[in-house]
Amino acid sequence: MSAYDTGEGIRSMTYREAMHEALHEALANDDRVFIMGEDVADYGGTYAVTKGLHEEFGRDRVRNTPLSESGFVGAGIGAALGGLRPIVEIMTVNFSLLALDQLVNTAATLLHMSGGQLNVPLVVRMTTGAGRQLAAQHSHSLEGWFAHVPGLKVIAPATAEDARWMLPSALADPNPVIIFEHSGLYNDRGPVDPNTGPVDLDRAAVRRSGSDLTIIASAGMVSKALEAADQLDKSGVSADVIDLRSLRPLDIPTLAASVARTNRALVLDEGWRTGGLSAEIAATLAEVCFWSLDAPIARLAGVEVPIPYAKHLELAAVPQVDDIVAAAGNLVRPIE
């Protein structure tokens, strides 16, 4: 994997390279850290994020597992309880459903059920999202399901820099952290500052400042929101774009401060609309920002169908840039 220096030590890296470097650093700096999952060793992971790590650190620390999510996630929980710092890779969020019992009934509950005696310092990485023609069993966005669960911290890096610097913070957390990596971002390139260091996992980031409305997004929707904001700016509409980064907990103060200034909010979610994360964000903002709103909070989410295989249908099933531009335009200049 390669990256190049853009000056002053800031390097241009792909999302994949940034995550790979973060994993390499974790393995090199802490003997308690190990990685396990399906094909993470010789094959290098489905998206090549762990490629080459087993050759340097050995198979005890980069472990291939059987095709049994419940089994190897459970093993990760046991290792965490035993004092190690496991990083468990689940190939795609759809497959995490086979480990829901371990994640929801065990990892998320042990601290509470033990009266604070048992921490589970487990990091679980998994891909999410559509856009690669992998069809319904490999392309859904189920982050909201996990964000519903007390005891789990849920994060979604949307930039190469966050892919690089969120992992150290996740590993330092004494409780389980789930990292959602959008499959469409791995080849995206961005600047990574070596001086950034571990980031606060509880804070959202304002990726663009504006005055007419707030666009709230996460993971793969952030780049689309920024592209839409560029188009809106040409038509005289100025948008704040906020990258949630953390889906649980939500950084409501940052969101509310933006909405209180712009007086309008558009919430984006690649996942389904009904009972989704966009509903939680919209309801909370309605509670805390009601008197600041000049228009109802708008939501733009995925169409409520299994993600299709056909490319044109896949594109139609999740929000695209033109959809965001239209929704934002209607919010600022409602159709009469």
Q: Indicate whether 199 belongs to any domain.
A: no
Q: Indicate whether 200 belongs to any domain.
A: no
Residue 335: which pLDDT band, with cuts at 50, 70 and 90?
Answer: very low
Q: Indicate whether 184 belongs to any domain.
A: yes
Model confidence pLDDT, tens digit, residues 56-98: 999 999 999 999 999 999 999 999 999 999 999 999 999 999 9
Compute the mean pLDDT over every residue in the chain, rounded to the nearest whole number: 95
Residue 231 has pLDDT above 60, yes or no: yes
Q: Same domain, yes or no, for 169 and 286?
A: no
Place of tokens 């966009």: 278
Q: Same domain, yes or no, for 53 and 84?
A: yes
Residue ending a domain, among 142, 166, 192, is 192
Q: Indicate whether 52 belongs to any domain.
A: yes
Q: Same domain, yes or no, for 265 and 307?
A: yes
Looking at the annotation, which residues are catalytic?
69, 138
Q: Find the CATH number of the domain harbouring 115.
A: 3.40.50.970
Residue ending a domain, among 152, 169, 192, is 192
Residue ending a domain, among 153, 169, 192, is 192
Q: Are 53 and 35 in contact (CB under 8 A)?
A: yes
Q: Same domain, yes or no, for 167 and 245?
A: no
Number of independent structural domains in the chain: 2
Residue 232 domain boundaries: 205-332
Q: Indicate whether 4 belongs to any domain.
A: no
CA distances 135 to 91, 267, 306, Å, are: 14, 25, 8
Residue 286: which pLDDT band, with cuts at 50, 70 and 90?
Answer: very high
pTM equals 0.95
Q: Count other Cβ atoms within 10 Å, centred on residue 288.
A: 15
46 vs 102, higher pLDDT: 102
Q: Same domain, yes or no, for 301 and 179?
A: no
Q: Same domain, yes or no, for 124 and 45?
A: yes
Q: Indicate whether 14 belongs to any domain.
A: yes
Walk across the sheet containing 11-14 and list its strands: 4-5, 11-14, 189-192
- Write the CB contacts of 34 (distance below 8 Å, at least 6 apart in sequence): 27, 60, 61, 62, 63, 79, 84, 85, 86, 87
Stretch 116-122: mean pLDDT, rounded?
Answer: 97
What's the start-to-end Cα distance of the chain, in Å? 53
Stretch 166-175: mean pLDDT, rounded?
Answer: 97
Q: Indicate whether 5 belongs to any domain.
A: no
Model confidence pLDDT, tens digit, residues 240-272: 999 999 999 999 999 999 999 999 999 999 999
Q: Same domain, yes or no, for 43 and 150?
A: yes
CA dihedral of residues 181, 184, 189, 191 (deg, nearest 10): -40
Q: What is residue 95's DSSP assignment?
A: G
Q: Same domain, yes or no, for 108 and 254?
A: no
Q: Indicate whether 215 belongs to any domain.
A: yes
Q: Same domain, yes or no, for 239 and 325?
A: yes
Helix (H) or strand (E) holding 258: helix 252-262
The span from the CA of 318 to the CA of 231, in Å, is: 19
Q: Find the CATH number of the domain harbouring 249.
A: 3.40.50.920
Handedness of CA 105, 109, 114, 115 (dihedral sign): negative
Q: Same domain, yes or no, for 223 and 276?
A: yes
Residue 227 has pLDDT above 60, yes or no: yes
Q: Same domain, yes or no, for 270 and 301?
A: yes
Q: Same domain, yes or no, for 104 and 183?
A: yes
